[in-house]
Amino acid sequence: MNNQLSFWQLNKAVILFAVVALTMPLWFPLINGYSGLDTKIMIFCIFLVGFDILLGFTGYLSFGHAAFFGIAAYSTGLMLKNFSDNIVPAIIVAVAVATLAAIVIGLLTLKRTGIYFSILTLAFAEMFHSMAMAMLQTWTGGENGLTGMPTPMLFDLKMQGNNVFYFTAIMAILLFYVAKRIERSPVGLMMKAIKCNQTRLEYTGINARKYKLLAFVISAMYAAVAGALMVVYEPFVGHEFLGWHQSGEVVIMSVIGGVGTLVGPMLGAGFMLYFENVLSVDLGEQWLLVLGLIFMFVVIFMPGGFMEALERIKRRFFTTVDGE
Amino acid sequence: MDMTLNAFTLYILTGLQLGSIFVLIALGLTLIFGTLGVVNFAHGALYLIAIYLAVSINNALGFGLALILVPPILFIFGVLMERGLIQRFYDRPHTDQILVTFGLAIVLQELLKWVFGANNIPFAIPSWGNGIIMLHDYLPFLEGFVVYPKWRLILVVVSIITVAAVFALLHLTRFGLVIRAGMRDAEMMQFLGVNINRRFMIVFGLGSMIAGIAGVFGGPVTQVSPEVGMHLLVPSFLVVVIGGMGSLGGAVLAGILIGMAQSFTAPYINLNTVIIYLITVIVLLVRPRGLLGAKGVFE
């Protein structure tokens, strides 16, 4: 194989994603997707790409990433309400606050692996959730949520309708590109080595904790950007943003799509939000039950998610005898 | 802190009562984890099945039948769950086990919501458990008139009996000996010719049955609605972590500790909502393996 990969080979996925994302307002209504849902899908693509840097690369399953999503959402909301209706300072502050929280939580939870890590991240997220409900009620609005934000502005541009969509889509494309760069970088390789065999990596003299924390914080920053954009998209913050439902939803999207592929989790996000908001009309109250069954089916029979399914189809129909 | 002996006694009782439910759920969790190495995210859903079964049987046929039927049904359900699903995951990574039990938890919860609706179903306490107990009649050091709901004290007693029974089973019988040996080294047990798989199945059933007992007596206290399972699961996980993964004594100790902490912080609403998490963080930092956790187990 040629060592010099062309621009197209390196950036194929990003370019394809950019084309699909930017043309979404054209084709999405054709499959009954309503305007606004496309923005939400873009927001969750950001969340999920970041989540895959942690789960897909290092193998650490966090059940508490809603914490960073929610913290950033509340920070954005409070900034818009009390400081300025410009979203730029709001997003920067939100990401900074969430990053700080991620460093502290990461230092504490990454002392543990596997199951322990999952339970502890879940516990921390639940802690923030109950704090938002009680202790910080005057700031967060408790049960009612944070409301009363002005219309968010990008300097002089009103963030409404298509403006929000294109802003989030461009953010999503940029952040997907960054994630792809991380994947190809030596740092990304270290992260993947942690998933393969952490002990062996440490024996070679590498400080695995540093890379684990880095992956954790980066994924939290992606979650924070998503949380902040969620408030730009819809000026409201509910306590559900911090709840375990939110964390669980992200895990489900990742797994259904295909952990560790970056593209897969975005497919998962698109599928799940489409399922939740469009197909659920036909299923009624039971949509979550059907989703749970699909999720279980994937975990049991197709651990690689949609990406594995695509790979299988490709192998079946499009390859010659000796493969690639 | 200025506290009378009366108030202190009531706080202790409330702490015990809150702890009882945590202990019962955490006991099953830690038993299953210690033996099978599986973290069961569906354990809250097992409790959910138990309370819905209990409330249905109780309201239709009476409490006696609920008490006789629910724990065995949960035992069978646990066995089926282990054979049908969990068994396939022994060789898969821990995260896959978490994922599949998490999926099962969603499916079970949504099924129950579909059948019984999302609203709370009133759980009628049987007449013999209704009303209050005059504590001052039994405890001479209390001043004046001190009462406590009878059912909550019954819950504490049931919990003590269940814990005692589990410990007796594990420490006084041959079956218990094999299980405890399996918790130490399952592979070695297989080399010695013990059919450890069958024991795993029974242990899973047992953990599920304890959730059944918790459901029958805890249902009237925790309410009967689809969210209850997950609400109880998180603190119960923390109880297991604080006590030490796989340690039964640790689960009991940590359950009571958490119950007490919640009870005594009740007047301070801000502290009350985060006390469990504070304790978890402190224990994690000071003693990562948990209060009574064995050395080297998930340290």
Distance CA B163, CA B293 (A): 18
Question: In which residue are the tokens 């030596």 written?
Answer: A186
Band of pLDDT at residue A320, cut at 50, 70 and 90: low
Closest-CA residue in chain B for A107? B285
**Which residues in chain B are closer than 8 Å to A123, comparing Cβ atoms?**
234, 237-238, 241, 276-277, 280
Which CATH code is given to the segment(s) B8-286?
1.10.3470
Bridge partner residues of B149 (DSSP): B132
Contact: A289, B88; criterion CB under 8 Å: no
Mean pLDDT of chain A: 90
Closest-CA residue in chain B for A125? B277
Residue B294 pLDDT exceeds 50: yes
- For the record, the structure tokens of A21 come out as 């994302």
Mean pLDDT of chain B: 89
Distance CA B265, CA B275 (A): 8
Residue B181 pLDDT exceeds 80: yes
The pLDDT of residue A215: 96
On whether residue A324 sits in a domain, the answer given is no
Contact: B237, A119; criterion CB under 8 Å: yes
Closest-CA residue in chain A for B87? A300
Distance CA A265, CA A4 (A): 28
Question: In which residue are the tokens 């989030």 written?
Answer: A168
Which of B94, B98, B238 lies at the smallest CB-CB distance from A123?
Answer: B238
Distance CA B166, CA B283 (A): 26
Number of domains in chain A: 1
Higher-confidence residue of B82 and B290: namely: B82
Interface ipTM: 0.87
Bridge partner residues of B148 (DSSP): B133
The pLDDT of residue B296: 58
Distance CA B240, CA A41 (A): 37
User: Coil, strand, or helix at residue B34?
Assistant: helix
The pLDDT of residue A85: 87
Band of pLDDT at residue A316, cut at 50, 70 and 90: confident
> Which residues contact residue B90 at a Cβ distance below 8 angstroms, ignoring those fewer than 6 apart?
B36, B37, B38
Contact: B103, A289; criterion CB under 8 Å: no
Contact: B281, A115; criterion CB under 8 Å: no
Which of B96, B106, B274 lies at the smallest CB-CB distance from A288?
Answer: B106
pLDDT digits over A25-59, tens only? 889 888 888 888 999 999 999 999 999 999 999 99
> Which residues contact residue B152 at a Cβ distance below 8 angstroms, ignoring those fewer than 6 apart?
B13, B14, B17, B221
> CATH number for the domain including A89?
1.10.3470
What is the mean pLDDT of the segment spanning B261-273?
A: 88
Which of A59, A61, A285 lies at the smallest CB-CB distance from B114?
Answer: A285
pLDDT digits over A238-288, tens only? 999 998 889 999 999 999 999 999 999 999 999 999 998 888 888 877 888
Higher-confidence residue of B245 and B209: namely: B209
Contact: A119, B238; criterion CB under 8 Å: yes
Residue B1 pLDDT exceeds 50: no
Contact: B39, A118; criterion CB under 8 Å: yes
Contact: B99, A255; criterion CB under 8 Å: yes
**Structural domain boundaries, residue A176:** 7-318
Contact assessment for residue A215 and residue A61, using Cβ atoms and an 8 Å cutoff:
no
